[in-house]
Every structure is written in C-alpha cells, then in structure tokens.
Amino acid sequence: MKNFVDELKWRGMIHDVTPSTSEFLQKNKTSGYIGFDPTADSLHIGNLVQIMTLVHFQKSGHKPVILIGGATGMIGDPSGKSKERKFLDEKIIIDNQNKIQVQFEKFLNFKGDNSASILNNKTWFENFNLLSFLRSVGKHISVNYMMAKDSVKNRLETGISFTEFSYQLIQGYDFYWLWKNKNVKIQFGGSDQWGNILTGNELIRRIDGGESFALTTPLITKSDGGKFGKTEDGNVWLDEKKTSPYKFYQFWINVSDEDAKKFIKIFTLKEKEEIETLTKSHEKEPHLRILQNALAEEITERVHDKQKLEIAKSTSQILFGKSKKDDFDNLKEDVMNSLSTAVPCVKIKKEEINSDFKNLLTEITNFEIFSSKSELIRLIKNNGLSINKEKILNDDYQLSKNLKFDKYLLLQKGKKNYTFIIVE
C-alpha cells in the first residue's frame, strides 16, 4: 500500500498537514472527506486538485467521502470572499448535487472494499434545532477562537453576518459528525480551508477528546500569475455541455511549459519515474510539447472518454495542425460536429447560400464575420482567408458547391481565427 502523504508530497499537493498524519494513515485504514459546494450544476477544474486528493487517498487503501454541502451551501463560506454570499434555492442545490455525483464516478470507485461514498450534510442538519446546536456544539468553541481565524478577521472591517460567522462551526460539526458516525479521521481541502478544518479538529478534541487530522492542498497558480482554471470563456467545467471536450482538451494543451511540469504531477496518475522521463524528453525537445499532450490526453480521457478525446484531438489537428484541404475533405461527421463546439458558429438559411460571396460574409451574416467588405477584400489580398482549409485567392468563390455534409463551411481568417458556417 502506498504512503498517501509521501505520494502527495512528491506531487507537490501538500500545503499544510497536521503532525503524525502520515504515521496514522500508514497504520490505520480510515476515511477522509472533502466538502463540495453544490453552488453549480457541474464541477470545474478548480475542484480537480481536491478530487485528485481523494483519488490518491482511495488508491492508498482508504475510503474517500464526498460531502455535499446541501446545508452549508445554503449559508456560504466567508473564506476568501469579500462579500456576503447569496442564498441558494433548495431545489437547485439538490439538482446540482445529482449532477455533481455523476462526475465523481469518473474518478472514484464507488464499489468494493474501500468504496467512495457521497453524503449530504443536510441529513444531519435538517432536524438539528438551534438550541441543541448551541448546547452541544457552540458551547465548545469560544468566540475568541473563531474571531482569530483569517476568514473572519478579514471581514471585520467590511462586516460579516452572524450566518457567515458561524460557518466554521457548521463545517466543524460536519467533521465531528463524520468522525463520530463514519470513521472519518481526516479532512482535506484547499489551503483556504485550513482554518475551518482545524475548527473541526478542535471540536472533535473538545467534545470527545478524539484524534483527527487535516491536510490542505496549495492554491494552484500559473507561472504567468493568472488564475488557474479560467479562460476567456470563464471556468473550465467538467460537464461537456458547459465546456466541450475539445475546449477542455485545449485548455490543457495550452498550459505553459513551466506549469505543465507542475500540473502533470497533480492532475495525472502517472508514476514518478514516468513523469521524470516525460519531463526530461520534454526539456530536450520542448517544441513537441510532450508534457502538455500527456496531460491533456489523460485528463480529457478520464473526464470524458476515449472517443471524445480522439474527436478533440482530430478537431485540434484541423484547427491548429498542418492539415490541408485533403485532410479536411476526409473528415468524419463527428469531428465536424465537434468543430461546431470549438469555434464560433454563424447560421445562415438554405436559400441564402447562393447569395453573392461577399454579401454573404458581410451583410447577410450581420457583419459578424467581417465588419465590412473592405475588411474581407483586404484579407483576401493579404492571403489570409481560407475556406475549408483552402486558400481563397479571389472573390468569386462558390460557397454552395463546397458545403460539407450539406451544411458546414469552415471559414478561416489567418491562422487561428475560425468561424463555422452552418446552413439550416
């Protein structure tokens, strides 16, 4: 059995860990949990570090527990937030939870010896009335202790509601409940959760004199200082309806060399030796971007599947590879469909396809593709316009004769600027 803490350590996934955690986990098969907010109907790659923590935990023989914050999600964690959070509608929370659950099944084994499980803290908070809470939980933690937490301290100037203030107690009680009822001995989380987790450890110690542990992962940063997991389009989601497999794949392919070295350890399950070999060959031939490819392939396949990965790869080949007209002509329909998720689409009506080439690309498409005919002409003169991977050299191109699958045209301005025209 692998040493969980050592495993995370070489992968650079530990920010803080309570003393003797490693020893405890080596000697005991136990359970550990992470709380997830059901604030969205999908996980995003910002959650991935946490998920991978649980994956390693399970691989080390322990039982991962996913705690859906059905109750806490209704309150809002002040950590890292500068403003009071909006409450979420209860129905939405339940709906979100169901969708998130499916996503976890791609990472964790929910069957067998050390199966993963999903719990919702609503089950124990629902019928927990205020007075009992104050008597059995509130009694053990002083306000002074709570005020000392950064998450609270940072909000004293701007104001914090009692509801958010009490968040750490609620989360602390989660830990206590799981410790008491589910043999959960450790809680994981991002580094911003350290304070909240320790409140749980403290509660367990004060109420029952029990032993428990905490481990947090570092905030994932990018070498250029930008926020990890964000693109121009916003979050990168695991749900293919929110982020297409192609875009998901592209996110990882575009990671910088420096970040790739870091990310491959965190987001893939490759062994140390393999990663070292890959990193070495990457450094020898950086233009091949071996790490980015390995990273993108493994994660995309896990989150989506082999087939969708292949489509994402073919799509990328068309858009960014050295593909020529022939490659484009031989494309299968599923890659074509994927293209429509990859690039902006403009729809035109069937009868419009026979319109004049220049009118079609300007007026008829509401100047979405080209804002003027001059711009279009200029681009053609600069040798920058391609349709279906074929350079357009003059302006009497017959769009209608070049439709793919009777409805698609791939228009390309320069190298990377694509528009997909769909005839309907």
Partner RNA sequence: GGGGGGAUACCAAAGCGGCCAACUGGGGCAGACUGUAAAUCUGUUGACUUAUGUCUUCGCAGGUUCGAAUCCUGCUCCCCCCA
- Listed in order, strand segments (DSSP E) in 250-389 are 345-348, 385-387
- Single out the residue of 50, 212, 268, 292 in contact with RNA (rule: CB under 7 A): 292
Q: Does residue 390 belong to the site contacting RNA (CB under 7 A)?
A: no
Candidates 49-57, 62-70, 94-102, 413-421; binding stretch for RNA (CB under 7 A): 413-421
The amino acid present at 104, given as its one-letter code, is F
Give the footprint of RNA on residues 300-329 (CB under 7 A): 316, 320
Q: Does residue 413 belong to the site contacting RNA (CB under 7 A)?
A: yes
Q: Does residue 417 belong to the site contacting RNA (CB under 7 A)?
A: yes
Cβ closer to RNA: 62 or 265? 265
Burial class of residue 298 (count of CB atoms within 10 Å of its CB; 0-12, 13-18, 19+): middle
Q: How is the beta sheet containing 184-190 ordered, strand by strand?
A: 16-17, 213-217, 184-190, 31-36, 63-68, 117-120
Task: Classify the phi-psi angles of 63: left when phi > 0, otherwise alpha if psi is within -120 to 50, otherwise beta.
Answer: beta
Q: How far is CA 367 from CA 241, 372, 379, in A?
A: 28, 7, 15
Q: Interface mask (CB under 7 A) for RNA, residues 133-152, using x and -? A: --------------------
Least CB distance to RNA at residue 256 (A): 7
Residue 111, both tokens: 């069957």
Q: Does residue 350 belong to the site contacting RNA (CB under 7 A)?
A: no
Candidates 104-112, 181-189, 297-305, 354-362; binding stretch for RNA (CB under 7 A): 354-362
Least CB distance to RNA at residue 354 (A): 13
Q: Does residue 233 belong to the site contacting RNA (CB under 7 A)?
A: no
Residue 169, both tokens: 């107690």
- Listed in order, strand segments (DSSP E) in 228-326 are 230-231, 234-235
Q: Does residue 415 belong to the site contacting RNA (CB under 7 A)?
A: yes
Q: Does residue 373 belong to the site contacting RNA (CB under 7 A)?
A: yes
Cβ closer to RNA: 129 or 366? 366
Residues 6+ apart with CB under 8 A from 238: 42, 43, 44, 45, 47, 103, 248, 303
Q: Does residue 254 belong to the site contacting RNA (CB under 7 A)?
A: yes
Cβ closer to RNA: 182 or 289? 289
Residues at the interface with RNA (CB under 7 A): 250, 253-254, 256-257, 286-287, 289, 292, 316, 320, 356, 358-359, 362, 371-379, 381-384, 395, 413-417
